[in-house]
Amino acid sequence: MSSHESIVAVWLDGASCPVEVREAWALDALDADRLARAAHEEGLGACLVSTCFRVELFVSGDRPAEALKAWAREQLAAARPDAPRDGFLDAEGEDALRHLFRVAAGLESAVLGEAQILGQVRRARAAAEAAGVLRPALRAAFDTAVRTGQWARRVTDLGRGTASTASAAVQWVEDAVGTWSRRPVLVLGGGQMGRLLLGRLADTGADVTLVSAHAPAHQGFAVVHPDALADALPGASVVFTATDRLALPLALARSA
């Protein structure tokens, strides 16, 4: 990091925000591309870590930290002009780095030590590198964050046992309902979280049906198109939603 280069972090405090606020701030690849272009035009570094639970924007540049934080908040507001903005926190310098390291270690996740976040940090770093907005200070910060996350999982109990939201969800339901044997289960969404749920349910004996528009037929579970959700829902004992889109309208849930 140069003597004049600042690093700041602006992030959505997911722990205190209701689900609908987190959903409103689910930024996608197009948002990340737009943000990278804006950073490139300003000569700034920028790296966005965005998942269904979090929005973390790290910015670096030869400007005062307060100016960088203001720029980051402006970009986020432009991405979601109608979303509430009072759930965001910010930090600068060592505090921003400390937050990044906590994120990579899974200390800021809904499930302590979550395994998926380290890969998400790596992918965010790679995307910023490909877009040409991973300035040296940010590159060093993210490289150190990945190593920190790996070290934390290697020398502590982080990441052992229930280390993903999917695992925690399945365990919570198991504690509540008991045996899975032949229990009809719906999993809505065939993305990463849906695949984690399917993997966790594979050996339980549950009768699993995946609701997905794109997943191919599979030997271990049934696959139905979202158009058939209204027919599949009444027979389900447990429903997992694993998508950042509206998957289960309230009226449909009530009718089932």
Is 52 annotated in the active site? yes
Question: What single-letter amino acid sits at 127?
Answer: A
Residue with tokens 């899974």: 106
Measured CA distances, 248 to 106, 227, 230, 243 (Å): 29, 11, 9, 10
Q: Which of 65, 72, 64 is nearest to 12 (CA)?
A: 72
Q: How far, in Å, CA of 173 to CA of 238, rounded?
A: 8
Question: Residue 210 to residues 12, 82, 189, 199, 249: CA-CA distances in angstroms?
Answer: 31, 33, 7, 12, 17
Give CA 225 to chain center in angstroms.
Answer: 25
Which position among 52, 96, 121, 232 bears the catalytic label? 52
Annotate 35-72 with b (16+ C-beta within 10 A) or e (fewer). bbebbeebebbbbbbbbbbbbbbbbbbebebeebbebb
Q: Would you please indicate which residues are annotated as catalytic (active-site) residues?
A: 52
